Chains A and B, each alone.
Chain A
Amino acid sequence: MFVTVHLFLILVYNFVNWNGRNMFRFNNISKEYKGHFWEKKFVALDNVSLNVDEGEVVGFLGANGAGKTTSIKIIMNFISPTSGEVEFDKKLGKNSVERFSNIGFFPERPYFYPHLTGREFIGYLGQINKVERSIVEKRLKFWSEKLRLTFALDRKIRSYSKGMLQRLGFISANIHDPKLIILDEPLSGLDPIGRKEFKDTLKYLSESGKTIFFSSHIVADIEEVCKKVIVLESGKLMYQGSISELIEKDSHTYVTIRVKTRLQPDKDLYLKSQIVDRSQDVYEYEVEKKLQDKFLNEILKLGGNILFLGVINPTLEEIIYKIKN
């Protein structure tokens, strides 16, 4: 009886909280690994609830071992959670097979069949996705030109460099024009030009209305591409929400003031100082916003000149570091 009531309440809770725009969501997902019976169990994910809305580009951030890849494996049904469930939008399909025809997936460090050519491999995936051969060819042409891989399509995959493999993996994730794209560390191992190309491509896909969920341990990449971020730390959810809100909440706290002054202001009025040009008496100070006016008055009183005043916006990296600590 108690169990029935409990299940009913969970059902009602889920119904009330269900946001129709969710592409997928985690409901209290936990994943534990147990080795031998004498070993302690390892908790990879601890009661994680998150959601990704339609049309969003969501960054999935966390240090190595935070649980990002485990979460993605659960989404992709490669492993099952110890408890909790993943709910998908009905638009993606009624069952896992239907759903996967609308999901594009790119695993971390993708491997391919080394003796097939890039074209054969994409053809293989196109056939499994039941995409007509002519459409596969058209999309392959488009993506290989965009990602500069056309020259290598008829070569065996074993001759591909790491960047070329990443590009092929990216093409394979998009060959069936999915609604939801899940990328696990897509930018790892790419050179700066490759990273820029990938980020531009993600922006292009976002503008085309795709929902993108991509994991990374590099904050700057996520900050550049995503509007929303989900932060995991040691299997626990630290933050999920808009990046701009997160930054705004913590921004405009400090200002940088560059002044020309012979006499130094009171040490209590600033946090840090550095010499810019000793011969010209130019210094730069980091000042708390609330002390800004007091500091400026002090400089003017000392007969100094104000050369520059700028607001310091903390990077997402600094904010994440703060959340973690």
Chain B
Amino acid sequence: MKNILIVSKYTFVEVYKSKILLNIILLGFTLILISYIASEFSHGVQARVALDFGMGSMYLVIMGIAIFIGVSLLSKEVENRTAYMILSRPIRRWHFLAGKFLGMSAILFINVFLLGIIILAFYFFLGGGISSLMWWALLFNLLESQIILLVVIFFSLITNVTMAVIYTICIFLLGHILSATLMINFIKGHIIWINLLTLAKWIIPDFDKLNLRDYIIYNQSMPLNYLMGSLGYAILYIGFMLLLNIIVFERKELD
């Protein structure tokens, strides 16, 4: 367990020192600017439009960070042989992988936290009201980025970097459209499609469960048991993907 924390600490320090956080702050202010410009085109719902733009842009930025840092998190270490320096020490491979994931999750947490604070502060500045659902949305954003991180790590372990990014973007898109696709009348009329998509929903993460942005924009509330259910789903999926990555990494030939 101690080794996991050591690896996560230095993974965090390495990414932190690469000045990515400074870029995130700059990005945060860019998002405010975009939100402000967008809100100027609205009539009477400035704060809501600013929040919509801000949350949406932040969401895409966090997913981008998860994909583009995650894809090189292990593959680059193996390719550059940095992993050799660590794995030739008294550490198990899965400790190394779990440490890398934990360190990168800490980076994602800080990104979500900082960008979230900047966007919400601007929203409040424009007269928006507070809602507990906002914090849930930020948490779900973090969990979704962790799932995406594990998906991209998984693909980077079994294929090359370019294909890993492409596959992950596909999973990301499928994860968002599967639930909506099941609602289409054409699908409802064909049992084969229903079965096929239901099976896909068991394998591909259902990101629709973690999307609260529309509810926030329209000031809708969500029952606590739904939120807890989504939270449990995300945690279970993270656990499953982590286990899958560990199995693959333990057997991987580090050539």
- Per-residue B-contact encoding for A110-123, CB less than 8 Å = 1, 0 else: 11110110001000
Cα A128 to Cα B13 in complex, Å, equals: 16
Residue A103, interface by CB 8 Å: yes
Cα A130 to Cα B84 in complex, Å, equals: 18
Per a CB cutoff under 8 Å, which of B81, B88, B90, B254 touches A109?
Answer: B81
- Per-residue B-contact encoding for A67-91, CB less than 8 Å = 1, 0 else: 0000001001011100000000000
Check if A125 sits within 8 Å of B17, measured CB to CB. Answer: no
Residue B225, interface by CB 8 Å: no
Check if A128 sits within 8 Å of B91, measured CB to CB. Answer: yes
Check if A125 sits within 8 Å of B85, measured CB to CB. Answer: yes
- Per-residue A-contact encoding for B156-168, CB less than 8 Å = 1, 0 else: 0000000000000
Which residues on B are within 8 Å of A, measured CB to CB? Answer: 3, 6-7, 10, 13-15, 17-18, 80-82, 84-92, 253-255
Kindly list 4 other residue pairs between chains A and B, CB separation below 8 angstroms, not including A111-B81, A115-B17, A127-B6: A78-B254, A97-B90, A105-B85, A125-B85
Residue A142, interface by CB 8 Å: no
Per a CB cutoff under 8 Å, which of A97, A101, A115 touches B14?
Answer: A115
Residue A124, interface by CB 8 Å: yes
Check if B82 sits within 8 Å of A111, measured CB to CB. Answer: yes
Residue A172, interface by CB 8 Å: yes
Residue A265, interface by CB 8 Å: no
Those 10 A-B pairs whose CB atoms lie nearest each other, nearest first:
A105-B88, A115-B17, A78-B254, A111-B80, A101-B90, A128-B89, A107-B84, A79-B253, A97-B90, A113-B14
Cα A127 to Cα B9 in complex, Å, equals: 11
Tell me how far the C-beta of A172 lies from the nearest C-beta in chain B, rounded to whole angstroms.
6
Per a CB cutoff under 8 Å, which of A73, A76, A127 touches B255?
Answer: A73
What's the dominant secondary structure at chain B's contact region?
helix
**With A116-B13, A124-B10, A127-B6 in contact, do A78 and B84 touch (Cβ < 8 Å)?**
yes
Residue A98, interface by CB 8 Å: yes
Tell me how far the C-beta of B220 lies from the nearest C-beta in chain A, rounded to whole angstroms.
44
Per a CB cutoff under 8 Å, which of A79, A97, A103 touches B91?
Answer: A97
Residues from chain A with a CB closer than 8 A to the CB of B82 are 111-113
Residues from chain B with a CB closer than 8 A to the CB of A111 are 80-82, 85
**Total contacts A to B, CB within 8 angstroms?**
77
Check if A116 sits within 8 Å of B17, measured CB to CB. Answer: yes
Residues from chain A with a CB closer than 8 A to the CB of B3 are 128
Check if A79 sits within 8 Å of B81, measured CB to CB. Answer: no
Cα A108 to Cα B85 in complex, Å, equals: 11
Residues from chain B with a CB closer than 8 A to the CB of A79 are 253-255
Check if B87 sits within 8 Å of A120, measured CB to CB. Answer: no
Residue A27, interface by CB 8 Å: no
Residues from chain B with a CB closer than 8 A to the CB of A239 are none
Residues from chain B with a CB closer than 8 A to the CB of A105 are 84-85, 88
Residues from chain B with a CB closer than 8 A to the CB of A169 are 85
Residues from chain A with a CB closer than 8 A to the CB of B17 are 115-116, 156
Cα A98 to Cα B92 in complex, Å, equals: 11
A117 to B, closest residue via Cβ: B17
B15 to A, closest residue via Cβ: A115
Cα A151 to Cα B49 in complex, Å, equals: 55
Residues from chain A with a CB closer than 8 A to the CB of B85 are 105, 107, 110-112, 125, 169, 172
Residue A261, interface by CB 8 Å: no
B5 to A, closest residue via Cβ: A127
Check if A98 sits within 8 Å of B81, measured CB to CB. Answer: no
B10 to A, closest residue via Cβ: A124
Residue contacts A-B, CB under 8 angstroms, 23 given: A76-B87, A76-B88, A78-B84, A78-B253, A79-B254, A98-B90, A100-B90, A105-B84, A105-B85, A107-B85, A110-B81, A113-B14, A113-B82, A115-B15, A115-B17, A115-B18, A116-B13, A116-B14, A120-B10, A124-B6, A128-B3, A129-B89, A172-B85
Per a CB cutoff under 8 Å, which of B10, B89, B90 touches A116?
Answer: B10
A108 to B, closest residue via Cβ: B81
**With A109-B81, A113-B14, A115-B17 in contact, do A78 and B87 touch (Cβ < 8 Å)?**
yes
Residues from chain A with a CB closer than 8 A to the CB of B6 are 124, 127-128
Check if B81 sits within 8 Å of A128, measured CB to CB. Answer: no
B79 to A, closest residue via Cβ: A111
Cα A74 to Cα B254 in complex, Å, equals: 10
Cα A216 to Cα B255 in complex, Å, equals: 19
